[in-house]
Chain A
Amino acid sequence: MPSRRRTLLKVIILGDSGVGKTSLMNQYVNKKFSNQYKATIGADFLTKEVQFEDRLFTLQIWDTAGQERFQSLGVAFYRGADCCVLVYDVNSMKSFDNLNNWREEFLIQASPSDPENFPFVVLGNKIDVDGGNSRVVSEKKARAWCASKGNIPYFETSAKEGINVEEAFQCIAKNALKTGEEEEIYLPDTIDVGTSSQPRSTGCEC
């Protein structure tokens, strides 16, 4: 079988409405930020080329609607994700508490082959607000949660000031790349199935 080199990395950004998912993506891809709030409807992506270990990859970054009523078609686009970014607003406890729901929902719907080791990255956004004075979720608390979920990498970001955005996405790309998620190998019925190229089992190897 000729193997096509993987060059496309699919990333899904999830989190409550207003935490700054769209802003983070815009900051990263277009280096732009706007103070205006414009809700996202449905899901779509922007792409960005990233260089990693001398290879060029295309990051396909899916931004989603945090408001449930703007997600009417469901989440079929989770399929084939290589990394999932969970965003909360450090000034909103509720958005932090909801991270768990977002994570679980993702694992159920995307059903990755190895949910235990599927790469997530958590971003605590809006650290610039009010000079940090209106912050309600401490870094310690966030890190503790990340640690409890299998050492999820954690970044404190500001889409507005561009703080840590580049670093966070570097890490996201790196994790997307090392994920075990390979593309489904499909073999059509008409072709002999040799012993060496069994379709990959989705469960554990034992």
Chain B
Amino acid sequence: MADVVEDEEKWLAAGVAGLQQNAFYMHRALDSNNLRDALKYSAQMLSELRTSKLSPHKYYALYMRAFDELRKLEMFFKEEARRGCSIIDLYELVQHAGNILPRLYLLCTVGSVYIKSKEAPAKDVLKDLVEMCRGIQHPVRGLFLRSYLAQVSRDKLPDIGSEYEGDADTVMDAVEFVLQNFTEMNKLWVRMQHQGPAREKEKREKERSELRDLVGKNLHVLGQIEGVDLEMYKDVVLPRVLEQVVNCKDELAQYYLMDCIIQVFPDEYHLQTLDVLLGACPQLQPTVDIKTVLSRLMERLSNYAASSIDALPEFLQVEAFSKLNNAIGKVIEAQVDMPVLGVITLYSSLLTFTLHVHPDRLDYADQVLGACVKKLSGKEKLEDSKATKQIVSLLSAPLEKYNDIVIALKLSNYPCIMEYLDSETNKVMATVIIQSIMKNKTRISAADKVEALFELIKGLIKDLDGTVHDEVDEDDFKEEQNSVARLIQMLYNDDVEEMFKIICTVRKHILTGGPKRLPFTIPPLVFSSLKLVRQLQGQDENPFGEEESTTPKKIFQLLNQTVETLSNVPAPELALRLYLQCAEAANDCDLEPVAYEFFTQAYILYEEEISDSRAQVTAIHLIIGTLQRMHVFGVENRDTLTHKATGYSAKLLKKPDQCRAVYVCSHLFWVDDQENIKDGERVLLCLKRALRIANAAQQMANAARGSTGSVTLFVEILNKYLYFFEKGNPQITVAAVQSLIELITTEMQSDSSTPDPAADAFLASTLRYIEFQKQKGGAIGEKYDSIKV
């Protein structure tokens, strides 16, 4: 392979050298106005183009050098003509060149000057030239020669408004000339594949592909001819070009030329000739990549529609959508072996097209999706990763267009397509949907929409097709479920009845999620429900008490069942927190039995399910905190609950934990803003009990380490004493406070005590506080004054 390249470089270098040498003598001849020598050397120079050893790229390099030299010759011819030399004679003269290829290059060069001189009608000269070029049947040489002709005649076509315009129908002459050159070039190009040994087919195809622009250039020239109006395009240009494309039966040519037609002619023309253009598609070879061709056509037309609103009526008038839709159907039918990817790509482009051109026609979009479903049905789930990617982009298109999932939810075929995604991709798509909702803050406020939405994103809501993928990355899973949680929080409607329906719908779906998902999805549902409760709380109870109307009681009932599902996970700590949240909400609704029920549930969990000691500590503090805030309970219920709470506290595993829980329980008996809960005696009992436990803790530490433990617990209890002292609890006397302080100081001074700077500082600042309160004066100051530190 490397040898071939090297050889080629050598051939090119030799060609260039030969060319330069002859060019040199040609220049000399030009400088001395020696026409005969100029022709001689230029012909020799052009002989270098007779090589068959170069690939198209290299040949092009050589050709360009010859091309540049010919410009000088052309200028010389012009000067000659100006000096009175007959251009007709020149035209005759160059035909004496011995070799046909140089002869034709020279002829084209003189021909261009000939036309410019206007001594003969452009059309005659052009016709002559394009006919004569038939003399070269070697594909590469012929293609370059003809592209030379195309180039030198480029600005001399008898187009309307051109200085070479003749009397009548001259645009037609220009068109005929270009069409003829195009046809001949295409034939050369197509024939090339049949030449040479079969084993070099691949190389040949590559070379043909490199040459394609020489052929396509003609179409560009046609597109630039001003006189080619819609009518002429429709009647002459398009049919003639398509005839050539269809009849050449060559895959490469057909694919490339269709692409060219679409790109070089204006959009208006395409719209007005859609039937013809699309009609050619099923006639192409079955291997032609029509999907790309059509996709590009639709992309172009979409851009056109986007670029000017004036274009829209045109699209409607020619029924562009239904024509494209039909054409795609036919192509898919004709190309039985078209892979799914191709099908989806086509429909994606059509969808993009209709979303751009007919944003108001959701039925069109749905129709496209429906056609897709039809094509996909009967097939297993998609395995082809490119195809699934394409489906994701297909499904994302409406979201991106409307920025509103609610519109996509109206597309009945949307969920059907999602069925064909494997579960991984299904999840990706579901995530895309949720992100769209988040980004656009879409309000989804009706239960049936929520139902449809959850149907769409079910890949995230439950395990599909019964398989549990344990290879799923833990972080990814969390991320997914968190996004579902955020989504649940976003569903909202002011209307209580509708909101309740939404909650029930969400609940129905998330309960299918299994133990791994529930801990993520239950909390947002619970809080949504509680939000609804609070909303109702503000309203008066419906005096007519309609049976089916939503009441806090009804919601609490549902909540109770909802939280209960966590027991299967199990997630007792989370469930306990949620029960307590519910209890607090019930409290605010003055529903004592309901609140009591929630507490009971929390207690059962605490007793039966929470066994880890750290978890117990956290739980007991939550329980105490919540219970402290409850005001709905009557004496009896409250007693039962506080009794249990203090019981739990005293039974915690570690002494310090016990001690702290017990002194916190003191708050259950003395609540600032509740007149009936001011039981000083029981407060004192709690604190004394805490002191005893602190003592025991101290002794245990002593036994274990031979020194006393920290006095921190005592200082903490002292602070509780001070709190209740200040609040006016009669049981907390000056003497009690005083003796506690003394106790602590003695402890700290004992030889066996372990130095603990934190505890020292804590005590110091507590004492400073006492000092500070004394300074304050007034009732408080007086109170504190009696404490001697």
By a beta-carbon cutoff of 8 Å, the part of chain A in contact with chain B is: 2, 4, 7-8, 32, 34, 36-42, 44-47, 58, 60, 65, 67, 69-74, 76-77, 79-80, 184, 186-189
Judging by beta carbons under 8 Å apart, are B264 and A41 in contact?
A: yes
B216 at the interface (CB under 8 A from A): yes
> Contacts A8-B71, A44-B151, A77-B64 known; A72 to B263 CB distance under 8 Å?
no
Judging by beta carbons under 8 Å apart, are B24 and A186 in contact?
A: yes
> Contacts A44-B151, A44-B154, A46-B155 known; A38 to B266 CB distance under 8 Å?
yes
Judging by beta carbons under 8 Å apart, are A36 and B267 in contact?
A: yes
> Contacts A46-B154, A46-B155, A188-B24 known; A71 to B220 CB distance under 8 Å?
no
CB contacts (< 8 Å) of B63 on chain A: these are 76
B416 at the interface (CB under 8 A from A): no
- Centre residue among A37, A60, A184 by max chain B CB count within 10 A: A37
List the A residue with the shortest CB-CB distance to B220: A41
> Contacts A46-B155, A79-B64, A187-B24 known; A41 to B265 CB distance under 8 Å?
no
B204 at the interface (CB under 8 A from A): no
Judging by beta carbons under 8 Å apart, are B155 and A42 in contact?
A: no
CB contacts (< 8 Å) of B265 on chain A: these are 38
What are 22 A-B residue pairs whose CB atoms fall within 8 Å in the complex? Answer: A4-B30, A7-B75, A8-B72, A8-B75, A36-B266, A36-B268, A38-B223, A38-B265, A40-B220, A41-B219, A41-B264, A44-B217, A58-B75, A65-B213, A69-B259, A72-B210, A72-B213, A73-B60, A76-B60, A79-B61, A186-B20, A187-B24
Interface of chain B residues 219 through 256 with chain A (CB within 8 A)? 219-220, 223-224, 226
Cα–Cα, bound, A186→B19 (Å) = 11
Judging by beta carbons under 8 Å apart, are B224 and A38 in contact?
A: yes
A4-B30, A41-B213, A41-B220 are known; give 15 further A-B pairs, CB within 8 A: A37-B267, A40-B220, A41-B260, A41-B264, A44-B151, A47-B155, A67-B263, A70-B260, A73-B210, A74-B57, A79-B68, A186-B24, A187-B24, A188-B24, A189-B21
CB contacts (< 8 Å) of B60 on chain A: these are 73-74, 76
Whole-angstrom distance between the Cβ of B503 and the nearest chain A Cβ: 46
Cα–Cα, bound, A34→B263 (Å) = 15
CB contacts (< 8 Å) of B268 on chain A: these are 36
Judging by beta carbons under 8 Å apart, are B31 and A72 in contact?
A: no
Judging by beta carbons under 8 Å apart, are A38 and B211 in contact?
A: no
Contact size range, B: 35 or more
B774 at the interface (CB under 8 A from A): no
Interface of chain B residues 24 through 38 with chain A (CB within 8 A)? 24-25, 27-28, 30-31
Whole-angstrom distance between the Cβ of B305 and the nearest chain A Cβ: 13
B212 at the interface (CB under 8 A from A): yes
B209 at the interface (CB under 8 A from A): yes
Cα–Cα, bound, A2→B64 (Å) = 24
7 cross-chain pairs, A with B, having the tightest CB-CB distances, nearest first: A36-B266, A42-B213, A39-B263, A41-B220, A76-B61, A41-B216, A38-B223
Cα–Cα, bound, A2→B259 (Å) = 50
Cα–Cα, bound, A184→B561 (Å) = 91
By a beta-carbon cutoff of 8 Å, the part of chain B in contact with chain A is: 20-21, 23-25, 27-28, 30-31, 56-57, 60-61, 63-65, 68, 71-72, 75, 150-151, 154-155, 209-214, 216-217, 219-220, 223-224, 226, 259-260, 263-268
Judging by beta carbons under 8 Å apart, are B220 and A38 in contact?
A: yes
Whole-angstrom distance between the Cβ of A129 and the nearest chain B Cβ: 10
Whole-angstrom distance between the Cβ of B680 and the nearest chain A Cβ: 75
List the A residue with the shortest CB-CB distance to B224: A38
Judging by beta carbons under 8 Å apart, are B223 and A73 in contact?
A: no
List the A residue with the shortest CB-CB distance to B259: A69
Judging by beta carbons under 8 Å apart, are B57 and A73 in contact?
A: yes
List the A residue with the shortest CB-CB distance to B16: A186
Cα–Cα, bound, A122→B703 (Å) = 89
List the A residue with the shortest CB-CB distance to B32: A2
Judging by beta carbons under 8 Å apart, are A42 and B27 in contact?
A: no
Whole-angstrom distance between the Cβ of A117 and the nearest chain B Cβ: 22
Cα–Cα, bound, A62→B148 (Å) = 15
List the B residue with the shortest CB-CB distance to A74: B57
CB contacts (< 8 Å) of B154 on chain A: these are 44, 46
Whole-angstrom distance between the Cβ of B288 and the nearest chain A Cβ: 16
Cα–Cα, bound, A159→B325 (Å) = 37
List the B residue with the shortest CB-CB distance to A47: B155
CB contacts (< 8 Å) of A184 on chain B: these are 20
Cα–Cα, bound, A203→B154 (Å) = 37
CB contacts (< 8 Å) of B28 on chain A: these are 2
> Contacts A4-B31, A41-B220 known; A73 to B75 CB distance under 8 Å?
no
List the A residue with the shortest CB-CB distance to B154: A44
Judging by beta carbons under 8 Å apart, are B57 and A70 in contact?
A: no
Judging by beta carbons under 8 Å apart, are B31 and A41 in contact?
A: no
Cα–Cα, bound, A32→B226 (Å) = 10
Judging by beta carbons under 8 Å apart, are A2 and B211 in contact?
A: no
List the B residue with the shortest CB-CB distance to A7: B75
Judging by beta carbons under 8 Å apart, are A72 and B209 in contact?
A: yes
CB contacts (< 8 Å) of B211 on chain A: these are 72-73
CB contacts (< 8 Å) of A46 on chain B: these are 154-155
Judging by beta carbons under 8 Å apart, are B214 and A42 in contact?
A: yes
CB contacts (< 8 Å) of B263 on chain A: these are 38-39, 41, 67, 70
CB contacts (< 8 Å) of A39 on chain B: these are 220, 263-264
> Contacts A38-B264, A46-B155, A47-B155 known; A70 to B68 CB distance under 8 Å?
no
Judging by beta carbons under 8 Å apart, are B56 and A73 in contact?
A: yes
